[in-house]
Amino acid sequence: GNSVTQMEGPVTLSEEAFLTINCTYTATGYPSLFWYVQYPGEGLQLLLKATKADDKGSNKGFEATYRKETTSFHLEKGSVQVSDSAVYFCALSGIGGTSYGKLTFGQGTILTVHP
């Protein structure tokens, strides 16, 4: 079945540091890949997505590239801010059978950014 392995945290950075959160996946075919973010006290929000190989998703300074050859979708940001402190989830949506639409998530990575 589908699975997502996400870099374990927590991750603690200083403001303006470079961020990488690793995400690799196992799936049949060509899944869509997502990064969701959960800010304190809020629900999950879509941060970015990519629907085919070599696509780059980007939003709010975050980027992730769909790498089929390495089955990866690593999240990066060049300069983090205190307001980026949140829990980040990598997820995929597969195809085939009855799996249309349902998301498979990684474990989540807690990011804390200090001033």
Least distance CB 102 / other proteins (angstroms): 5
Task: From 107, 3, 24, 27, select the one nearest 70 (Cα to Cα).
Answer: 24
Examine residue 47 and tell whether it contacts other proteins (CB under 8 A): no
Burial, 56: exposed, middle or buried (Cβ in 10 Å; 0-12, 13-18, 19+)? exposed
CA distance 89 to 102: 15
- Nearer residue to other proteins within complex by CB, 41 or 115: 41
**Of 11, 23, 35, 36, which lies in the binding site for other proteins, with binding defined by CB under 8 A?**
36
Residues that bind other proteins (CB under 8 A): 4, 31-32, 36, 41-46, 49, 51, 89, 91, 93-95, 98-108
